[in-house]
Structure 1
Amino acid sequence: MRDNGTKNILLVGVGGQGTILASKILSEGLLRRGYDVKMSEIHGMSQRGGSVSTHVRYGEKVASPVVPEGCADVLVAFEKAEAARWLHYLKKDGALVVNDFEIYSLPVLTGAAEYPEGIIERLKEKVQKIKCVDAARLAEELGNIRAQNVVLLGALVKALGLEGPDWKSVIKETVPAKLLDLNLKAFDAGLSQ
């Protein structure tokens, strides 16, 4: 289900984690590298901590913005339970970049459900190319946990083999000036993973 060598990336997380901002930086960076890029956002009660997914497809000529199930070259999960929830989108030899981070849903917080145990271990049994990143810890060490999205973006860029100076200029043009230094450091932290 690929057209003209199109690459498929799915970014998933929980509302408020910065999934969409990371996707916008990714899309702009890919456009500047000369790719045709299509992006589609899906918000599922994102303001209340619900699932958020962003499909990014790039290549010579991209027809649709939606990544078909089983066709994602890379799945980036901003929260580990979301990795398990969206894993069926990853193709057999695809790569998984997963944030080793937990966000508890309302049923878990109220005691009506339990957060699943051993998610990372189960993911490692199913996916050969997996990169676990403690993006929240890295972002906190830099001064703000909210920068974990840009840490994960750096890890994704490395996984795609698309390192280069263009990314920092896109970040400079996208994030507020007061958060620029933090986000540039967060991107570098992700690249080093």
Structure 2
Amino acid sequence: MDTKNILLVGVGGQGTILVSKILSTGLMDAGYDVKMSEIHGMAQRGGSVSTQVRYGEKIYSPIIGSGQADILVSFETMETMRWLEFLKPDGVVVVNDYEIPSAPILTGKADYPQGIIEMVSDKARTKVVNAADISEKLGNMKVMNVVLLGALVKMMNLTDIDWEKAVRASVKEKFADLNVKAFNAGMEAVS
């Protein structure tokens, strides 16, 4: 089996690291060798966060280089452009249609760029997921990340893994049912 490279990007507080941990748990339980790395940047201040998950028969390094990601999952629209160069020419983008204005935008020193999803769609096979609407319908905006995990699993055709077990092992028990619903809703969003 070829090594697969998954790049998850977002803004601090969006739960990209939790998703990477659930993803790694599920893949390891399924027998893959998995390596994960995380880059926080100014995450605690709403800055950029990226996590890289590589899996296959034998993985030696957790790092994904430029032009090597099979799939880019962007939890925030603008982050998609920042990380697009890491996508393989035939790679896939899953983008959350959700905007979090950065500090320069909030202070009026910059405008939120328009047309990002269109630009990304011109450059790569793109699946847009409105995880905010889906998680709002589930009653909790904090599960947007797990909605995107469900979309990722469906897009990567990893549906034969026991993801419910991985989700339940990674979140607090009182939030487990909600997160499983969010995961399933994310899978349905890309069917």
Q: Which TM-score band (shorter chain)? A: over 0.9
* 1:105 partnered with 2:102: yes
* 1:162 partnered with 2:168: no
What is the Cα deviation at residue 164 of structure 1? 3.2
In structure 2, runs of 5+ residues without a counterpart are none
In structure 1, runs of 5+ residues without a counterpart are none
1:59-101 per-residue CA deviation (whole Å, 9 max, x = no partner) reads 0001100011100000000001000110000000001000000
* 1:183 partnered with 2:179: yes
One of 161, 167, 171 as aligned partner of 1:171:
167
| Runs ≥4 residues deviating over 2 A | none
What is the Cα deviation at residue 150 of structure 1? 0.2
Q: Which residue of 2 aligns with 1:79?
A: 76
Q: Which residue of 1 aligns with 2:86?
A: 89
What is the Cα deviation at residue 136 of structure 1? 1.0
Matched to 2:173, the amino acid is: A
1:93-151 per-residue CA deviation (whole Å, 9 max, x = no partner) reads 00100000000001100100000001111111111x21100001100110111100000
Q: How far apart, in 2, do the equivalents of 1:162 and 1:126 lie?
A: 25
Q: Which residue of 1 aligns with 2:133?
A: 137
What is the Cα deviation at residue 180 of structure 1? 1.1
Matched to 1:113, the amino acid is: A
Q: How far apart, in 2, do the equivalents of 1:31 and 1:180 lie?
A: 20
What is the Cα deviation at residue 176 of structure 1? 0.8
Matched to 1:143, the amino acid is: G
Q: Which residue of 2 aligns with 1:45?
A: 42
Q: How far apart, in 2, do the equivalents of 1:168 and 1:42 lie?
A: 26
1:145-178 per-residue CA deviation (whole Å, 9 max, x = no partner) reads 1100000000000011011351001111111111
Q: How far apart, in 1, do the equivalents of 2:81 and 2:167 lie?
A: 29
One of 8, 11, 15 as aligned partner of 2:12:
15
Q: Which residue of 1 aligns with 2:146?
A: 150
TM-score of the pair, normalised by structure 1: 0.96
